A and B are shown apart, each in its own frame.
Chain A
């Protein structure tokens, strides 16, 4: 019984998060401006991080947790670097 509930809800969550990643991905492709793409990349990182967490729960291993944490940290660093680039890189120089 509990296995059925968990399988269904985790399966739903995986589909929903993958769909969220795809929707955010269309924004990376569509733009229209650089800041839209950076913001989309940041949300893509969050969606994929949540997808990793949910997959880890479905498989019952704590392995995916480390991956999720690394994704969240790298996502932060890269988004900040890109935002900083938008500040200084393109417009002023």
Chain B
């Protein structure tokens, strides 16, 4: 018997709901990522996948394995924790790298008042 058949219906419905929600949000994020035209817009699309896309999938996974194994399983939340803490670092660094590159090249992706840093004296990154 496959392990899926041992899951009671009352658990299967929320699991199915969360899995579908997570996958759909990730798909919408990816769709937006492929369609949006500017880099700074695209910076927002992956956060759909990393907030509720990941969140819903790990909730579903934790629910299902808790029932299959008959004990509370929380290790999925380690992934969630890891994603929540690491994605902002990546996105912030990419955002700042893109800003710096656009400024160096004088790209027109930036509005007029953003083309130059206001005070070039100190270039210490915040939060380091």
Contact = CB atoms under 8 A, between A and B. Distances in A.
A17 B74 CA distance: 23
Given A49-B79, A53-B58, A69-B78, A16 B23 contact: yes
Interface residues of A, number: 56
A91 B29 contact: no
A58 B78 CA distance: 20
B49 A47 contact: yes
What does DSSP make chain A's interface, helix, strand, loop or mixed?
helix
B110 interface: no
Nearest to A19: B27
A60 B2 contact: yes
B75 interface: yes
26 contacts: A1-B9, A2-B4, A2-B5, A2-B12, A3-B4, A3-B7, A6-B4, A6-B16, A9-B15, A13-B20, A20-B23, A20-B30, A23-B33, A24-B33, A49-B54, A53-B61, A53-B76, A60-B2, A65-B61, A72-B82, A73-B82, A79-B90, A83-B97, A86-B98, A91-B100, A91-B101
